[in-house]
């Protein structure tokens, strides 16, 4: 294997490391977004529970006003009962009195139910607040860690890019241009190993003689995908490996 090809392999190794680091960097914002949505959902649960309590208290307030008004009506009905001059009017007033008393009884039950519902919602509110605040603290710690990882990755990529430029400056320009062209196509490694007698990139079968020459150190370019096919530690001839 000639020196330029060895340098290209070194360049590819650096590019692969850079690619992996960029992939890790792309995962960091995604993880942040997931955590942020979780926190927003938990905060929404807290706000909804808080709103529910406010609605219960408002219903309780209206029930209290309604009960107070009904009590006043009941008192008026009882006073008027003494003024009724006919049996029919007396019976009608008794019906109104019973209706008011039943309504007060129903309002008492409703207020009791609202009281229990409010107590339950207050417990839920405390629990949702606890979950939200606890996870928000965890998210902040995790975010700091992710920011630190991002900074390290950026620094490492910067160092690898300097190393990459040093290697590039010492490679035959024609080989380098071909390498960069193939790499820009986004189809993975430019330099691949012989795999069961085929190109390790596109898996096109190569002539047996070509495979032998590759094994002996020949730099071969695949006629289909254009990749450099070389002999690697895990390379194999057709029908072997």
Q: Give the model's confidence band at 185: pLDDT under 50 very low, under 70 low, under 90 confident, else very high.
A: confident
Q: Domains along the chain?
A: 20-168 (1.10.287.1490), 173-230 (no CATH)
Given a contact cutoff of 8 angstroms between Cβ atoms, the answer to whether 202 and 224 are in contact is yes
* Report field, pTM of the whole predicted structure over 0.75: no
Q: Is the pLDDT of residue 2 over 80?
A: no
- Alpha-carbon span 89 to 73, nearest angstrom: 17
Average of per-residue pLDDT across 141-155: 95
Question: Both ends of the chain: CA-CA distance in Å?
Answer: 22
- Alpha-carbon span 202 to 227, nearest angstrom: 9
At residue 191, the 3 state secondary structure works out as strand
- Alpha-carbon span 180 to 164, nearest angstrom: 12
pLDDT on residue 116: 95
Which residue, 135, 97, 110, 8, is CA-closest to 59? 110
Q: Is the pLDDT of residue 226 over 80?
A: yes
Q: Give the model's confidence band at 188: pLDDT under 50 very low, under 70 low, under 90 confident, else very high.
A: confident
- Alpha-carbon span 241 to 237, nearest angstrom: 7
Task: Name the helix (H) or strand (E) containing 230.
Answer: strand 228-230
Q: Is the pLDDT of residue 1 over 70?
A: no
Q: Is the pLDDT of residue 206 over 80?
A: yes
pLDDT on residue 240: 57
Phi first, then psi, for residue 163 (nearest 5°) are: -60, -40
Average of per-residue pLDDT across 194-198: 92
Q: Give the model's confidence band at 146: pLDDT under 50 very low, under 70 low, under 90 confident, else very high.
A: very high
Q: Is the pLDDT of residue 155 over 90?
A: yes
Residue 32 to residues 43, 131, 140, 147, 205, Cα–Cα distance (Å): 16, 18, 10, 10, 45
Q: Is the pLDDT of residue 166 over 70?
A: yes
Average of per-residue pLDDT across 211-219: 87
pLDDT on residue 217: 83
Question: 80-128: per-residue pLDDT in tens?
Answer: 988 888 999 999 999 999 999 999 999 999 999 999 999 999 999 999 9
Given a contact cutoff of 8 angstroms between Cβ atoms, the answer to whether 205 and 214 are in contact is no
Is residue 37 packed enough to be buried (19+ CB in 10 Å), middle (13-18) or exposed (0-12)?
exposed
Question: 7-52: per-residue pLDDT in tens?
Answer: 999 999 999 999 999 999 999 999 999 999 999 999 999 999 999 9
Contacts of 146 (CB under 8 A, 6+ apart): 28, 31, 32
Question: 51-85: per-residue pLDDT in tens?
Answer: 999 999 999 999 999 999 999 999 999 999 888 88
């Amino acid at each position: 294997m000639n020196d330029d090809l060895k340098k290209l392999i070194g360049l590819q190794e650096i590019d692969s490391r850079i690619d992996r680091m960029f992939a890790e960097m792309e995962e960091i914002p995604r993880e942040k977004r997931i955590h942020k949505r979780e926190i927003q959902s938990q905060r929404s649960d807290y706000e909804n529970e808080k709103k529910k309590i406010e609605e219960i208290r408002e219903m309780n307030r209206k029930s209290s006003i309604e009960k107070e008004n009904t009590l006043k009506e009941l008192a008026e009905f009882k006073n008027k009962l003494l003024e009724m001059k006919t049996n029919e009017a007396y019976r009608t007033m008794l019906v109104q009195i019973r209706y008011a008393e039943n309504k007060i009884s129903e309002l008492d039950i409703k207020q009791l139910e609202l009281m229990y519902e409010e107590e339950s919602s207050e417990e839920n509110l405390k629990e949702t607040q606890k979950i939200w605040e606890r996870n928000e603290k965890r998210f902040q710690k995790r975010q700091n860690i992710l920011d630190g990882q991002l900074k390290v990755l950026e620094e490492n990529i910067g160092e690898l890019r300097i190393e990459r430029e040093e290697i590039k400056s010492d490679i035959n320009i024609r080989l380098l241009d071909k390498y960069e062209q193939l790499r820009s196509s986004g189809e993975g490694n430019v330099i691949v190993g012989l795999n069961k007698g085929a190109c390790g990139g596109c898996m096109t079968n190569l002539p047996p003689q070509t495979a032998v020459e590759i094994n002996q150190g020949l730099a071969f370019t695949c006629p289909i995908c254009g990749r450099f096919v070389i002999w690697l530690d895990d390379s194999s001839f057709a029908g072997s490996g």
